[in-house]
Structure 1
Amino acid sequence: MVQPDLSHVSATAMAQQGLRLLEDFQGTQQLDQLSQAIERLRQAAFGLPAGSARQCLVLSELGRALRRRHELTGAEVDLEEAIPALTAACMTPEEGCRHLYLNNLANAYADRYERTTSLADLDRAEAALRRALELVPHDDPARSVIVSGLTSVLSYRYQRDGDVRVLDEAVAVCRDVVTADLAAPAQQALAMYHLAGALHEAYEARSDIELLHEAEDWARRATDGTSTDPDSAMYLAKLGSILTRRAEVERDPERLTEAEIVLAAAVLGTPPEHVRYAGYLNEMGNAVYARFKFTGELTQLDRALEIFQTVVAIGAEGGINEAGQLINLGNMLMQRFALSPELATLDNAISAFDRGVRMFGEDDPFLPMARSVYGGALLERSRHSDIAGQPERFLEFAIAELRRADRAQTGYAEHRRTIRNNLAIALHEQFKHSAHLPALEEAESLFRAILAVSCDDIAGRLATVNLAAVVTDRPGAGEDAWDEAGRLLRRAVEMTAPGHVDRVRVLRNLGVHLGEIARRRADAAAGAEATEIFEQILSMPTASSDSRVRAAVTIAELAAFTGDWTAATQAYGRAVDLLNATAVAALYRADRAHALSRFFGLASDAAACALNAGQPRRALELLEHGRGVLHGQSLAVQSTLAALHETAPDLADRFEQLTRELDAKPAGDDMNLPEEVVSALMEQRRRAAGERDRIVEQIRAIDGFVDFLRAPRADDLLGALRCHPVVVLNVSRHRCDALILRGGAVEVVKLPRLQSDTLIRQVIQFLGCLETVRDTNQPPAERDQAAAAITSILIWLWHSTIEPVLDALGFTGAPGRGQHWPRVWWCPTGLLTFLPLHAAGRHPHTFGSSGRAGGALGSFAPAAATIDRVVSSYTPTVRSLISAGARASSRPGARDGAPRVLAVAVPRAAGWPEIPRAADEVEVVRRRLGTVSVLSGAQATRANVLAQLPRHQWLHFAGHGVQDPFRPDTGELITVDSRDKGAVSIADVAGLRLPDAQLAFLGACDTVRGQVLLADEAMHIAGALQTVGFAHVLANMWVVSDRLSLEVTDTFYARIVEQGAGPGAAAHALHDGVRLLRGRLEQLPGTAHERRFGPILWATFVHLGP
């Protein structure tokens, strides 16, 4: 300290002023008054004789005042000054005061321990308090205060060491002084408060409900008559915490309501800068979260999450409490993720857990449980990664963290069982990934060990459910194992109260088990019970949309197993209707895609059941409703927006604004932003989604818009279809069919030679062979072998799928001379979207030279290939084709003036191979079309491309495209600044509105290649461009040679100009260009590289649109 000038006043007078100000502060609680008292006492301490009784008194009061200001402001400097002052005070020559000074010193050490978790501070606090107890007479009222401090310190000691005997001592000494009733009311209330806390902790350690009841009783008595006490908020917070816990244990909503009221009073009665404010708010968050667990209301979870985010942001308590608050926040984020699967939320939970774990001391008893929930979050992350190798790495990290938690020597017994449960879950997951039997055996051993201790707590319930899954996963598990699993799951249901947030999961596990029993044993009763359980889940407010979809699907599968195709169709219909709820607009587009990927093939199975039930129109509806969900959400907007602008322009504008906001790309790189920023963005999206839902309801109330954004009926689809025939190819494990749409009818063509399991093998081989052929580092023999395998797959595709359809359509050969080439619009489902239907068949080694036929090219004999019989176009869904046709017919054609054309050439981009002919391709466009706006080289930036697209009607892009078939929403067009600014992504395109767009030609690789588990969602750049306005899109299914792309481009635009039909001739023009290319390649010598790889080189080009 710096010695102040005391010349103007005596030290004794200064001390008197300070003590008087301190006494006044006790009544006013004015911080300024406290600060003045501290200054006076500080000055007096310097002026009084060193070591005198008077100085020691002043130093003790100064230390108390500094500690109190630390409580109110959180200023650590006050606590650091208080401890030396209080230490000096304990040297007082007056024996009768020393126990009081020791108590004050101990409290200061305990305060610092809360911030630092320094064992030395805890030891000093306990030593000072025990010495004070030795000095204080048994009938001295001050004994109550000292015991209160010791109780608190012993609680910290238990939390570190896990020795329940320490808690027993705390309860015993505190109960003694409380029952003696020697202290003043304020001191007695403080002792009751500490006794209540010790009993609460004893309950958590021993699970003896009587301890919790007694804790509540003492907490209530502590709050009686203390409304004017400065510590009244502290007493209320303790009572609220105990009430919350008892309400959870005894399922008592009325007690929880009281807890919320009491905790609200504690929070409102405490200034935000108070050191305990965050702690009280934390308890309030626990109560709100408990309310969510009672009701399953998402608003309660969001409220709890907001509270915990505020607690962490305040950071007022620091130390051990800050670490715990981070763990609480992580738990809330995990719960939010479970109900709304935003990966950013999961990643933020992992970040919060990681920070919290790092803040705990290695010997802290809460650290094992913190590691456990951290490991659980890493385990969950392993289930939500599409990047090769990432799931295994996350799983490895999870198991390592959980093993650290299990090896810890500290912690609560209840936590120990939960930790081992989580470790066992992770080991079971490892077995499912690797078939590593020791992992499964260890998991079973852990679960059984948990149940051997207790079955009736949370850990027991979780272990019961999880053990059921393990015993049936054992290799060669017999009927005894399945019977044991059934008993375990029924027990778990009994242990989970109705309305509990875990009730859905426990019921679902039992329902799945019963469904499997029904199939294994042809047990109709088990099937009926399973159906009843899933019907119950569908009606439960706590069930997530994901759980509801799964419930409806399982009901459908059970009905299909019994051959009740009508019931199966009805249940599948409910599942399809629920899919849109799974892909809620509040999620980012990539998260919506991930949510939908879990239901790959649902719509196709639904349609197959409808066909078995003799309902082909219903099959079409189910395919349209359940496929292209994301695509359809945008198309439905586009199709009616113009009319809406005329009828209700304000609603239309706001709807568009909100839709753009919800379709926008996440801010930052993969949402690598601070948690509070991400949380704010998520909350903003939830508000926007809620407002958008309300606007949709307002729009539906307008005459003529009652079906706005609703899925269309089959009659509406067939009536609006101007392009036909459309062939919807459906692949399901139940059956495979082609639905031919023409003349307002649905004609079913069975495809018995097309099997879903065969298709999976063929697509896997096809994609692998493509990679081999495109890899010039592979040996020539292997590339030739891969090319031959692709040829065989195309022949299989012809015989199993395409030829029966074309025969049914009457397209049994090539068009004769002078005849118009017929068109077919292919709408493949599932994995068929990865195969070139237009290239299916046998391709001759020599190209015919008989000249043009019907304005196209000569034919082959026999015409055993799609390209030799029809002009092929593709559409992701029937809705997409209808929408594109409507746009094409409403926009200017070729005779309405030259189109505004944007040509983009990106021959070089950092990190990508050079494309030598990209600029030549753009020059061809300019030469064929005339006036063209060009972005080339350094001008072809992401910002320029996105800015220029809305100003043009046609787009030609010559550059690199990229699409990862195993990750949703990753399609991109590479611009010159992609490395620094990012490429033009699907999300970028989805945010555009292009009312004048007509035609896009993408001379780039992989631009119509989707994602494997989202094959029905048109998750590629071509699909995105069509959705936002381009009626016609020409794209590539895989890698394209820049030289061949230049060749096809030249032919395409030459035909467009020759025929003068504008974009409407796009399909025929591309067909001509591809057939010419194929013919030239087939005329090359048999040893030529391009001859050997023929279909791989020309079949990449496709047309989407009317």
Structure 2
Amino acid sequence: MRAVELTPEWHTKRATYLNNLGIVYQLRFQNQTHQADSSQAIEYLNQAVALTQDGHSDKASWLNNLGNAYSGRFFVYKQPEDFNSAERALSQAASLTSKGHVNMSKILISLAILHNSQFEKSGLQETLNKSISYLQQSIECARYPAQTFNAARFLAKLLSSNQRPGSLPVYQIAMDCLPQVIWLGEVAKMRITQTFQLSDLVQEAAAAAIVAQETDLALEWLEQGRSIIWGQFLQLRAPLDGLTSVNPALAAELKLAADELDNTSAGIIPSRTFEPESYIKPLDWNIQRLHQVANQYEKLLDQVRQTPGFENFLRPKKASELVKAAQSGPVVVINVHKSRCDALIMFPNETDIVHVPLPNLYEKPALKLHVPFEVVPGSSEPSDELDGFRGVRSKVTKNQYESMLEELWECVAKPVLEALAISIEQPPQELTHITWNTTGPLSLLPLHAAGDYTKPHMRLFEFAISSYTPMLGILLRASPSPQIHSRILAVGQETTPGQALLPGTKIELESIKALAKDPIQYMQLDDRSATVSAVLGAMEEYDWVHLACHAYQLPNGPLGSSFRLHEGNLELMQILQKRLRNRGLAFLSACHTAAGEERFSNESAHLASGMLIAGYSSVIATMWTIADDDAPLVAERVYSQLIKGGKLDYTQSARALHMAIGELRAKIGEKSFARWVPFIHIGL
């Protein structure tokens, strides 16, 4: 304001100051919707436009800002004169902008949004047609992947929601932009926050594909568009044996770039001598180097894909490959979107995908029972506090919990069991092993515990052993023979500074040690010996790891989530940096190690998934808190099933956990949900 007052009418900077002042008022209007702010914004922006000649390079930008200000007021008050003024200003901005200009795509999107808002008000197909046309033009003249992505996702949604043809190819354009929008050239923590902008695009696209009976395409999109960050980690660590046998030099160069990209994106600054005059130069250099390596990596990938037989190297997998994820039993992928919910089922040794509609699921209260990440479902009794639990408990009542599990049974588990031809009249002698791959709010809920607990034989655990996977690629990853595993690392923290005592960890580790007889090698690090460096070093040497301690799930992404050890926190990123390969079971006997976060529900952003990416094939974890008294029983029963004849067999982890939890339920009662439900199995 002061700059405008002090700048004379004839000064060349006055229009710039007026434009900036108008933007400030417009931003405040967007936050507070005070009409006076909108009027003030439009007044200043009109003055900026009036002071700027048509040939001036900023005239189109000022007009675009003015048009958006009128549009913002039209969206709120729906006055025809605001629509006309917005259309006039934006159209003039487009006429002054060349098709190849970086701003052209944004101006056309603004016009599309304006006309779509008019369509929602009037229902006139002419305004919808204009919105579609502007978006098509925006895609054609987009200069950056983010512009293409924004225009394509908006256009696809318009076409799909209004039953117009052609939405699937446009969704494909948006999906193809994902590697550039969530770019490997950014640090991993930044990429995690960027996934939030995807919202429910992937579920929306999959739902549209299912409507069109393109279940293969729906499956491919669901795999490509979820757990993106984990998928990028796996891509950078993919084995290159096949390429090495054909072109060893190219394979070595690609591995070098992938390793540096992996390390640099994780925030590791390579050894380098920096000039002393500026302490920020290492960080600046790191980011610049990350961009350079990402570009080099992409060029090398292009070279590899020009090699005969490697045309699809590290491209998103096709459905014909994804169906092979069903190895130990059926895999059920569930898409949750407000337009429709569906299950896609894959069977071992079969290529067809079975589609099961799940009507009414989205409207059920269960999906709205979002429990904040720092608390967990418990009961409403005053005694349900921190004491005796490895975490903090919430005041979700037992009735709410029971109602949620019943809805999951009726809307998901029961129809899936029917599709699997599993009769619910009588529990079978041999249980089917189902691996669940869920989306959206369903990924935060305990589907494995679904059941109507007021009636007999209405519990999922009576008919199936449940596992979860954050992505199908985890199940497709080549796994070692379990016979090669013979070393267990057990870590326990009875006393951790600043945390509640966990006396059960002593009993827990003693039971594992008693079972780990020769020739199995057993190493135990507890209390003062369980330092971050000691545990990390031992993890490099041992095949399995058992962590009995407190854990912390970072709400803004999993990479900083950690296990609380004696003298510090063992962060997930530190484990990922070790490049562990061909590991077996990671038993995370700590609070909420598989607790998702609502904002990143499609990213499986928790410690358990991170351990899979780190190199462990199978993970036992907890969705919320666990009782310190229950953990030793569960651990002892699990390991008694997995340690047989001096061998460690992680492939039976899901079955072992299922049996262990059955014994826990028999001891405490099946309606003590908060004590047995949190334990889950993830992976192979």
Whether TM-score is above 0.5 comes out as yes
Question: Partner of 2:42 in structure 1?
Answer: 447
In structure 1, what is the equivalent of residue 313 of structure 2?
A: 708
TM-score by length of 2: 0.88
Q: Deviations over 1:772-808 (max 9, x none)?
A: 869968799x967623212211111111111111122
Residue equivalent to 1:305: none
Give 3-state SS (helix, strand or coil) of 2:503's partner: coil
CA distance in 2, matches of 1:946, 1:1049: 22
1:423 and 1:443 in contact (8 A); partners too? no
- After superposition, residues 63-462 of structure 1 pair within 5 angstroms as 205-207=10-12, 412-431=13-32, 437-438=33-34, 440-452=35-47, 454-455=49-50, 457=52, 458=58, 460-461=62-63
Work out the CA distance in 2 between the residues paired with 1:1037 and 1:774: 21
Aligned counterpart, 1:615: 214
Question: 1:515 deviation in Å?
Answer: 2.6
- Equivalent-residue separation in structure 2 for 1:945 and 1:1056 (angstroms): 23
1:444 is matched by which residue type in structure 2?
A: S
SS in 2 for 1:1042: coil
Which structure has the bigger radius of gyration? 1
Q: Give the Cα–Cα distance (whole angstroms) in 2 for the partners of residues 517 and 953 of structure 1.
A: 61
The CA deviation string for residues 897-923 of structure 1, in whole angstroms up to 9 with x for no partner, is x61111122333333333222233222
Change in CA separation of 1:453 and 1:570 when aligned onto 2, cut-off 3 Å: closer
Q: 1:425–1:466: 8 Å Cα contact kept in structure 2?
A: no
Change (3 A) 1:821 1:1074: same
Partner of 1:511: 112
1:750 Cα deviation from its structure 2 partner:
0.8
Q: Please name the residue that 2:390 is paired with.
A: none
Letter in 1 for 2:360: R
Q: Which has the higher strand share?
A: 2
CA distance 1:1028–1:775, change in 2 (3 Å): farther
- Does residue 986 (structure 1) correspond to residue 572 (structure 2)? The answer is yes
Is 1:1038 the counterpart of 2:639 in the alignment? no
Higher relative contact order (CA 8 A, sep 6+): 2
Query: Sequence identity of aligned pairs in percent?
Result: 24
Q: Distance in 2 between matches of 1:823 and 1:1038?
A: 23
Kindly indicate whether residue 362 of structure 2 is the aligned counterpart of residue 755 of structure 1. Answer: yes
Q: 2:461 matched to 1:870?
A: no
Asked if 1:1015 is matched to 2:605, the reply is no
CA apart distance, 1:719: 4.3
Please say if 1:561 is aligned against 2:150: no
- Choose from 1068, 1074, 1088 the match for 2:655: 1068
**Deviation digits for residues 988-1019 of structure 1, max 9, x if unmatched?**
33333222311111111221223323222222
Match of 1:694 among 266, 282, 299: 299
**Change in 2 beyond 3 A, CA 1:639/1:693:** closer
- Answer yes or no: is the 8 Å Cα contact 2:492–2:530 preserved in 1: yes
Q: Which amino acid aligns with 1:551?
A: A
Q: Secondary structure at the match of 1:957?
A: strand
Confirm whether residue 547 of structure 1 aligns to residue 135 of structure 2.
no
1:765 and 1:963 map into 2 onto residues whose CA distance is: 11
Structure 1 CA distance for aligned equivalents of residues 469 and 40 of structure 2: 53
Closer/same/farther in 2, CA of residues 806 and 835 from structure 1, 3 Å limit? same
Whether 1:929 and 2:522 are equivalent positions in the alignment is no
- Who is 1:502 aligned against? 103
Q: Distance in 1 between matches of 2:557 and 2:42?
A: 35
Q: C-alpha distance in 1, partners of 2:573/2:648?
A: 32
Q: Give the residue type in structure 2 aligned to 1:748.
A: H
**One-letter amino acid of the structure 2 residue matched with residue 797 of structure 1:** L
- Whether the 8 Å contact between 2:504 and 2:629 is mirrored in structure 1 is yes
Report what 1:1052 is aligned to.
638
Which whole-Å CA distance do the structure 2 matches of 1:628 and 1:596 have between them? 9
Map Cα deviations across residues 570-599 of structure 1 (whole Å, 9 max, x no partner).
211211111111111110111111112111
SS in structure 2 at match of 1:539: helix
- Further displaced range: 824-833 or 721-730: 721-730
> Which residue number in structure 2 is paired with residue 837 of structure 1?
447
Which SS does the other structure have where 1:206 is aligned? coil
Structure 1 residues 445 and 495: CA distance shift in structure 2, 3 A: farther
In 1, Cα distance between equivalents of 2:600 and 2:606? 10
Cα separation, partners in 2 of 1:627 and 1:967, compared to 1, 3 Å: closer
Q: Distance in 2 between matches of 1:514 and 1:551?
A: 14
Instruction: Write the distance in 2 (CA, Å) between the matches of 1:731 and 1:614.
Output: 17
The alpha-carbon distance between structure 1 residues 925 and 469, as it changes in their structure 2 partners (threshold 3 A), is farther
Q: Specify the code of the residue in structure 2 equivalent to 1:715.
A: S
Tell me the residue number matched to 2:272.
none
CA contact under 8 A between 1:456 and 1:495: conserved in structure 2? no
The CA distance in 1 between the partners of 2:558 and 2:394, in whole Å, is: 29
Work out whether residues 597 and 1014 of structure 1, in 8 Å CA contact, stay in contact via their aligned partners in 2. Answer: yes
Q: CA deviation at 1:680?
A: 1.2
Structure 2 counterpart SS, 1:724:
coil
Q: 1:777 to 1:1096 in 2, by over 3 A?
A: closer
Shift in Å, 1:1099: 0.9
Give the aligned partner of residue 893 of structure 1.
Answer: 482
The answer (yes or no) to whether the contact 1:451–1:464 under 8 Å persists in 2 is: yes
Partners of 1:1026 and 1:609 in 2: CA distance: 31
Instruction: Assess, with a 3 A threshold, how the Cα gap between structure 1 residues 446 and 479 changes in structure 2: closer, same or farther.
Output: closer
Q: Does 2:649 match 1:1102?
A: no
Superposition deviation, residue 758 in structure 1: 4.9
- Report the Cα distance in structure 2 between the residues aligned to 1:517 and 1:762, rounded to whole angstroms: 35
- Give a deviation string over 1:730-774, Cα, whole Å, max 9, x none: 111221111111222111111112116856523359987638869
Asked if 2 retains the 8 angstrom alpha-carbon contact of 1:901 and 1:933, the reply is: yes
Compared CA separation, residues 750 and 691, structure 1 to 2 (3 A):
same
Q: Once the two structures are superposed, what CA deviation does each residue of 1:1046-1075 show, in whole Å capped at 9, x if it has no partner?
A: 111011011223597711111110000111
**Which residue of structure 1 aligns with residue 532 of structure 2?**
942
The aligned length equals 654
Q: CA RMSD of the aligned region, Å?
A: 3.1
1:362-383 deviations in Å (ceiling 9; x for gaps)? xxxxxxxxxxxxxxxxxxxxxx
| CA 703–160 in structure 1, closer or farther in 2 if over 3 Å, else same | closer
Mapping of residues 567-646 of structure 1, within 5 Å: 567-638=166-237, 640-646=239-245
Q: 1:589 to 1:943 in 2, by over 3 A?
A: same
Q: Distance in 1 between matches of 2:366 and 2:584?
A: 35
* Residue of structure 2 aligned with 1:911, choices 498, 502, 514: 498
Which residue identity does 1:839 align to in structure 2?
Answer: A
Match for residue 467 of structure 1 among 44, 69, 87? 69
CA distance in 1, matches of 2:649, 2:48: 78
Aligned to 2:410: 799
8 Å contact from structure 2 (residues 562, 571) kept in 1: yes
Partner of residue 537 from structure 1, selected from 113, 125, 138: 138
Q: Choose which of 449, 469, 475 in structure 2 pairs with 1:881.
A: 475
In structure 2, runs of 5+ residues without a counterpart are: 53-57, 270-277, 388-392
Distance 1:757 1:588 in 2: 38
Residue 1027 (str. 1) matches residue 630 (str. 2): no
Q: Deviations over 1:35-72 (max 9, x none)?
A: xxxxxxxxxxxxxxxxxxxxxxxxxxxxxxxxxxxxxx
CA–CA distance in structure 1, aligned partners of residues 536 and 90 of structure 2 = 55
Instruction: Encode CA deviations 1:821-860: one digit per residue, 9 max, x unaligned.
Output: 211111111111100100111236xxxxxxxxxxxxxxxx
Q: SS at 1:993's partner residue?
A: coil
How far apart are the structure 2 equivalents of 1:835 and 1:646?
Answer: 45
Contact 2:373 2:597 in 1 (8 A): no
Name the SS for the 1:621 alignment partner: helix
Question: Aligned in 2, Cα 1:986/1:814: closer, same or farther, shift over 3 Å?
Answer: farther
Alignment of 1:652-671 (within 5 A): 652-664=251-263, 665-666=266-267
| Partner AA of 1:632 in structure 2 | G
Is the 8 Å Cα contact of residues 366 and 407 (structure 2) preserved in structure 1? no
- More helix per residue: 1
Partner of 2:274: none
